[in-house]
Structure 1
Amino acid sequence: MFLEEYDVIVVGAGHAGSEASASAAQMGASTLLVTMNLATIGQMSCNPAMGGIAKGQIVREIDALGGLSGIVSDKSAIQFKMLNKSKGPAMWSPRTQNDRMRFAEEWRLQLEAIPTLDFYQEMVSGLVVENGKVTGVKTSLGLTIRAKSVVLTNGTFLNGLIHIGEKQFGGGRAGERNSTGITEQLIDLGFEAGRMKTGTPPRVDGRSLDYSKMSVQPGDIEVSKFSYTDRSSKLSRQRDCHMTYTSPLVHDLLREGFDRSPMFNGRIQSIGPRYCPSIEDKIDRFADKDRHQMFIEPEGWDTVEVYVNGFSTSLPEDVQFKALRSVVGFEKVKFFRPGYAIEYDYFPPTQLKHTLETKLVENLYFAGQINGTTGYEEAASQGLMAGINAVRKIREAEAFILRRDDAYIGVLIDDLITKGTEEPYRMFTSRAEYRTLLRQDNADLRLTSVAYDLGMVGEDRLKKVERKQEETDKMLQFLRNTSFDYKEMNVLLEEKKSAAVIQNDKFFKVFSRPQLDLEDIRRFDEVEKYIHKQNLDEDILEQVEVQVKYSGYIEKEKDNADKLNRLEDIKIPPNFDFSHIQSISIEARQKLKAVQPVTISQASRISGVNPSDISVLLVHMGR
């Protein structure tokens, strides 16, 4: 039934498992993807959308590294939006609304097209661990499948418990059983485990809604896409979303069920996502608000099923229904299924290395919600990194680790490994101190050459990115070297209500003014002729504009990153005994011993480790 020994076995086929198996197999490793249900590969368990604030940057980074999430998202998209366009480019974040069924189908087709990837449907009930190293998995049928490495991406399935009001039952998500056995074995092996909670709103029949009472939320007129490749295309048509609001009446009706809510009667003890609270949590925490937004999102091109974003709940189904019927536009609503909360096991990620390999068991990797994160994009990026590193480890190649100034993925993993998390971790632009460098528009420039070295992308794609970089640099140089006529420029500046110039100067200097954009500069013959002669596409022109406008900020962040990265070069010996350094605080010694940082830079980011502690460590490292 199976190979005698696989290079990599991936357990679970959600977003993390799909990317992990795809990356390992694309690198030529013999890979087996084991899941409890092959019909739900890549399923969107919650909202039918990809990307958003900071998450869109992650999808672009996955694509630049050779992952498949961007391609799958583009191929199944029904709407595209670039969020935060009113702010600077560091905040721009792409987002797609997706056809849920086609998203899962596209993931299945993409994975089946990889020759070195095998599939098997069954529950993995345990691991085979020999002499501190994982050597395979055991299934519920009693089969043992051998492997050189294993990636666990169990999502919300580990001892998953679903709550709807006072009712509770085991399950990994609606309609699917949970996974048992793995948590207990990992605890026996010495791992620390915890419980987290997440939730989802009701799904309703779109035919029963009155959209005329809601405000329309259309997609962008100028449509873009996630993938830098030609394997997907931009949307030629889009579906609208809609927005409505709760009300004081809705809140009162929901409060009637609070005594039957597992959130408030003590049935749920675990912590849920801070930035995606349930509707009952919103009412309780923000009692001064008399209404909350609800985004009505279609589940696909053809289905009538609708996702009620902003109404996540675990209240009894009768309370959910009664309250929703009091929302404007929902007066005749029909349910497809009620909302619910789910509790599941996770393992604090400080037990991992930056490669996502566990510290306790060699060649065992964790990725996704098992590490305490929330969100498709966060999970997918971890799966990608775990798959790559699993292959590199068995090939005795250098570990692949992204720094905080390399990618949002680097920020995500460093935060998890160094700081840990006691609540579901979600990525935001504010978490990245170098977000001006980590923009959605330059992910290909940052990461494609790295992906080529890893064997994740081909030479054609590398050459395309090299041309983009070369043409961007050449046009920037053209703007620095080419002068404008100040009289002609002042006509434009007066029109734009910007201060006049008194002499001829370089285009680069005046273009950096916030009042001017690329279309203004293209009114000058010299600029337009250059663009036409070089046959520059929109991606290059966008890159030029961003780099002109933000050149000062970009250089400053690069300089700050370079200074901090010098600390990355100062390695801490493996198994270094921090308890013997009496000159640092007790808290710092405890935190350092628990995390076991590999560099001084990582040590400096641990909560509870102060600059004075770092100074003492530097002395011990001979600096």
Structure 2
Amino acid sequence: MVDVIVIGGGHAGVEAALACARMKKKTLLYSMNIDMIASMPCNPSVGGPAKGIVVREIDALGGEMGKAADATALQFKMLNTNKGPGVQCLRVQSDKLAYKKYMQDVVLSCENLEVREMCVEKVLAENGKVKGVLQKDGHEEYSQAVIVTSGTYMSSCILVGHTSTPSGPDQEPTTNALSQSLRDLGITTFRLKTGTPARVKTSSIDFSKTEVQPGSDAFLAFSTETKSIRPFDKQALCYLTYTNAKTHQIIRDNLDKSAMYSGLVKGVGPRYCPSIEDKLVRFADKERHQIFLEPESEQLDTTYIQGFSTSMPHDVQEDMLHSLAGLEHCEIEKYAYAIEYDAIDPLQCKPTLENKLVENLYTAGQINGTSGYEEAAGQGLMAGINACLKLDHKAPLILHRDEAYIGVLIDDLVTKGTQEPYRLLTSRAEYRLLLRHDNADQRLMSYGHELGLISEERYARYKQKLKDIEDTKAYLETVRFTPKSEINMFLKANGYDELKEGVSARELLKRPNVTMYMLMPYLDRKVDAEVSRQLEIDIKYEGYILKAKRDAKHLRDMDNVVLPTDICYDEVANLSLEARQKLAKVMPLTMGQASRISGVNPADIAVLAVYLEQRKRKA
């Protein structure tokens, strides 16, 4: 008997298992192949738009992904630097073998965590409450909670051309019994599809015909614990090429051979990461599409062809690849394929990621209909945290939409659901100016500390950083610059507006072109680079940040109105028919969650508010 069982050793399973073990729960992690724990079956990278901020949030809560990504990165790159801080984010090109090894070492050496190489065929439940799992060898293992993080391995099939082969990613075994056992418990499953591009031998690419894509020449890291990274001059290069008219003609001539268009695919594919043939059909007017060439590992002579996912037959793939500039004579190491698999309807999950039908059963990652390593890891961490909190009879941790992208992700899943692989985007967050790369620790580290996932030493360093920020803000108020100040000559020499009257250093920093780096020579104290960056954003965007916080407070107020769990929405007079159906299906926990359900309009929320007031008076 253990406290928590985690099924699946992908990015969700790793974070869930580590969180439970670190929160002092006896944890058992099942993996069909220990060597595949934390593997990267698709793109060898971590981060990117929105996703990079999720990794920062995972780190602030005490998760492991950020540390692993920093330690094993081949290249670091900050994206969207020419845009506002609300959309800037870090992405690293990962060494997929080093990343996997790092995570496996952490998992296998973690106290309170046992790893068992075994296939789980059934989730066991009794009287609506989970009690353990059935192993493939017939052994029953009992636990108080079960977290299913099976990724794309449930009843999965590899699709190439007109061929469908039962298999998990990278020719790993699939499991058919597990998803059937979930259906036996009353849980609804549906089919989804994703895919991965080909890998070619790096030595066979002519990079002189492509565009170089270097990293960023700055200290960048996901984890606040990271003190050193691979030097810029030692970082790997990525490259950019494009599809062309010949590529497009080959694809059009063979569309009927693609699994996507032959009728073989039953599941819905990802909208924001489609196959190359899907791109051509959707965006027929585009003359070319970007294709990134990304190294997979220092130990491998392979390059990942980012943006060229396909389910075409192998011979067609060869023609397609050989039509690209720089890849005319490339040798294919591994062909592209599509994969179809079972997922569950996330509307069956509570905001804690506990299943509504089976108590103490949690799901996280691609089984909940998401795509991406980062989304999976964030869910896994939250499922692990909430499973432990429930076993300890404590209140759950539910992150608000103005607190974390992880909160946006989970709220979208359990409130709106998804019919295609869900991808987190900055545009999904109403308060993205509050959910920045630079302030993840300020938003979430207190939670991580309270949970015991952030050490006292690390938390003390964080508190000191906050003090340094506030002290420096106060100091900048005391520094005065006048038209006679030396800094005015600097402003004039660089074409900036001169000072006409005296201003504080803080006021001067509000100007668009003025940075802390520019002010530093005129200050009598040194300011840490991280503190400087934080100050710049806080001061320059102060008005916008305050407005976003006011707007977020309205949402928080609605989320503080708890809805009774025994409401029969069919009995609420004047609700629209659609609202009744949607509310009954989701069973929102708060008025705020109810307001975010697709099909529930403001008039329905007003009706619901009147109903609650009447119910309160009767009580």
Q: Give the TM-score normalised by the residue count of structure 1.
A: 0.96
The question of whether the paired residues in 2 share the 8 Å contact of 1:570 and 1:621 is answered with no
The Cα RMSD (Å) is: 1.2
1:442 aligned partner, one-letter code? N
Partner residue of 2:50? Answer: 54
Partner residue of 2:617? Answer: none
Q: Which runs of 5+ in 1 are unaligned?
A: none
SS at match of 2:311: coil
The question of whether the paired residues in 2 share the 8 Å contact of 1:575 and 1:596 is answered with no
Q: CA-to-partner distance for each residue in 1:547-591, whole Å, 9 max, x for gaps?
A: 111111111111111122111221111132111012111101111
Alignment of 1:219 with 2:186, yes or no, is no
Work out the number of aligned pairs and report it.
611
2:332 aligned partner, one-letter code? F
Partner residue of 2:261? Answer: 264
Shift of 1:256: 2.5
2:599 to 603, 608, 623: 608
Q: CA-to-partner distance for each residue in 1:207-265, whole Å, 9 max, x for gaps?
A: 111111111111111131111114x6311220101111111011111222211111111
Cα distance in 1 between the residues matched to 2:200 and 2:74: 19
Cα distance in 1 between the residues matched to 2:174 and 2:290: 32
Equivalent residues in 2 for 1:225-304, closer than 5 Å: 225-230=221-226, 233-236=228-231, 237-304=234-301
Equivalent residues in 2 for 1:185-204, closer than 5 Å: 185-204=181-200
Cα distance in 2 between the residues matched to 1:575 and 1:481: 58
The question of whether the paired residues in 1 share the 8 Å contact of 2:482 and 2:499 is answered with no
SS at match of 2:613: coil
Shift of 1:112: 1.6
Partner residue of 2:504? Answer: 506
Cα distance in 1 between the residues matched to 2:369 and 2:48: 20
Alignment of 1:541 with 2:549, yes or no, is no
1:369 to 356, 366, 369: 366
Partner residue of 2:172? Answer: 176
2:466 aligned partner, one-letter code? Q
Q: CA-to-partner distance for each residue in 1:520-553, whole Å, 9 max, x for gaps?
A: 21231xx2x122xxxx321111111111111111
Partner residue of 1:424? Answer: 421
The question of whether the paired residues in 1 share the 8 Å contact of 2:562 and 2:589 is answered with yes
1:522 aligned partner, one-letter code? M
Tell which deviates more after alignment, 493-502 or 70-79: 493-502
Quick one: percent identity of the two aligned structures? Answer: 45
Q: CA-to-partner distance for each residue in 1:442-477, whole Å, 9 max, x for gaps?
A: 111111111010111111111111111111011112
Cα distance in 1 between the residues matched to 2:494 and 2:447: 42
Partner residue of 1:517? Answer: 515
SS at match of 1:86: coil
Partner residue of 2:306? Answer: 309
Shift of 1:89: 1.2
Cα distance in 2 between the residues matched to 1:586 and 1:443: 41
The question of whether the paired residues in 2 share the 8 Å contact of 1:496 and 1:515 is answered with no
Alignment of 1:334 with 2:331, yes or no, is yes
Cα distance in 2 between the residues matched to 1:23 and 1:429: 26
The question of whether the paired residues in 1 share the 8 Å contact of 2:162 and 2:262 is answered with no
Tell which deviates more after alignment, 604-613 or 180-189: 180-189
Partner residue of 1:584? Answer: 575
Cα distance in 2 between the residues matched to 1:301 and 1:555: 46
Partner residue of 2:478? Answer: 481
Cα distance in 1 between the residues matched to 2:238 and 2:438: 25
Partner residue of 1:148? Answer: 144
The question of whether the paired residues in 1 share the 8 Å contact of 2:132 and 2:145 is answered with yes
The question of whether the paired residues in 2 share the 8 Å contact of 1:239 and 1:301 is answered with no
SS at match of 1:94: strand
Alignment of 1:355 with 2:352, yes or no, is yes
SS at match of 2:353: coil
Tell which deviates more after alignment, 568-577 or 137-146: 568-577
Equivalent residues in 2 for 1:425-504, closer than 5 Å: 425-488=422-485, 489-504=487-502
1:235 aligned partner, one-letter code? R
Cα distance in 2 between the residues matched to 1:44 and 1:110: 17
Q: Give the TM-score normalised by the residue count of structure 2.
A: 0.97
Tell which deviates more after alignment, 451-460 or 477-486: 477-486
The question of whether the paired residues in 2 share the 8 Å contact of 1:295 and 1:309 is answered with yes
Cα distance in 1 between the residues matched to 2:183 and 2:399: 29
1:70 aligned partner, one-letter code? G
Q: CA-to-partner distance for each residue in 1:316-368, whole Å, 9 max, x for gaps?
A: 01000012112111111111111000010111111000000000000000000
Cα distance in 2 between the residues matched to 1:252 and 1:210: 23
Q: Which runs of 5+ in 2 are unaligned?
A: 615-619
The question of whether the paired residues in 1 share the 8 Å contact of 2:188 and 2:345 is answered with yes
Shift of 1:90: 1.2
The question of whether the paired residues in 2 share the 8 Å contact of 1:257 and 1:316 is answered with no
Alignment of 1:127 with 2:123, yes or no, is yes
Cα 1:582–1:500, aligned 2, differ >3 Å: closer, same or farther?
A: same
Q: CA-to-partner distance for each residue in 1:66-95, whole Å, 9 max, x for gaps?
A: 000001111111100000001111111001
Cα distance in 2 between the residues matched to 1:227 and 1:431: 24
Shift of 1:616: 1.4
SS at match of 1:566: helix
Tell which deviates more after alignment, 325-334 or 409-418: 325-334
Tell which deviates more after alignment, 246-255 or 584-593: 246-255
Shift of 1:496: 4.0
2:279 aligned partner, one-letter code? K
Partner residue of 1:85? Answer: 81
1:46 aligned partner, one-letter code? C
